Structure 1
């Protein structure tokens, strides 16, 4: 039997995890939930004082990005989300930045899509 892939996007990780649990009951081949960003890096790991801390860019503080050069830091700091004045909130990209990846048998594909869409996902 052939396999099909689904990439679905969600607003929150718990929303995607709930759908992933439902999909596992459908005997999907594989399912994974990840967060993605327009900038490289895993986010800020520790709380630091921006006045006394060593920061390379505003993008490091607000976007949780790994800054590879001063020029990249300047470009990240120019992003509207870096000011805290964007509607993206929490320094991240506006919208659905949680990715649910599913591998399913072809005969379960439509049912899996229906579960994702009913759970608020965009596939």
Structure 2
């Protein structure tokens, strides 16, 4: 039986989890929800005082990111409006932060897509 991979983005974890639950209730077994972001890593592992602590970069502190490839990427990330505070960037510029991945039989892919759309999924 042929299968199809479906990737859908969601703005909130709640709507992504609701879609995953509906897919599982419809009989789709392989469903996963992941948090995605612009920047790599999990950021700081512990609470750190920004004045006295060892902070690797503004991007690490304010964007919850890791920059293992070097200092240049962290300097560039610090220019992001979310890190610098120079502009809010507007809410319209915020894309989906949660990715739902589903593996479905090809003959039921439209059914799965309709469930995802009804929960606010973006393809």
Name the TM-score class by shorter chain. Answer: 0.7 to 0.9
Secondary structure of 1:20 counterpart: helix
* TM-score, scaled to structure 1: 0.87
Q: Which residues of structure 2 form unaligned runs of 5+? A: none
Aligned pairs for 1:85-96 (under 5 A) are 85-87=87-89, 94-96=94-96
Given the two structures, how large is their TM-score scaled by the length of structure 2? 0.87
The residue that corresponds to 1:27 in the other structure is 27
Deviations 1:16-62 (A, max 9, x none): 01110100112214110001112110244432211111101100011
Q: Is it true that 1:50 corresponds to 2:50 in the alignment?
A: yes
Cα distance in structure 1, aligned partners of 2:4 and 2:47: 42
SS in 2 for 1:51: coil
Q: CA RMSD in A?
A: 1.8
Which residue of structure 2 lines up, in the alignment, with residue 71 of structure 1? 72
The total of aligned residue pairs comes to 120
Between the aligned partners of 1:81 and 1:49, the Cα distance in structure 2 is 19
Aligned equivalent of 1:40? 40
Q: In the TM superposition, what is the alpha-carbon distance from 1:107 to its structure 2 partner?
A: 1.8
The answer to whether residue 83 in structure 2 is matched with residue 82 in structure 1 is yes
Alpha-carbon contact 2:81-2:89 (below 8 Å) kept? no
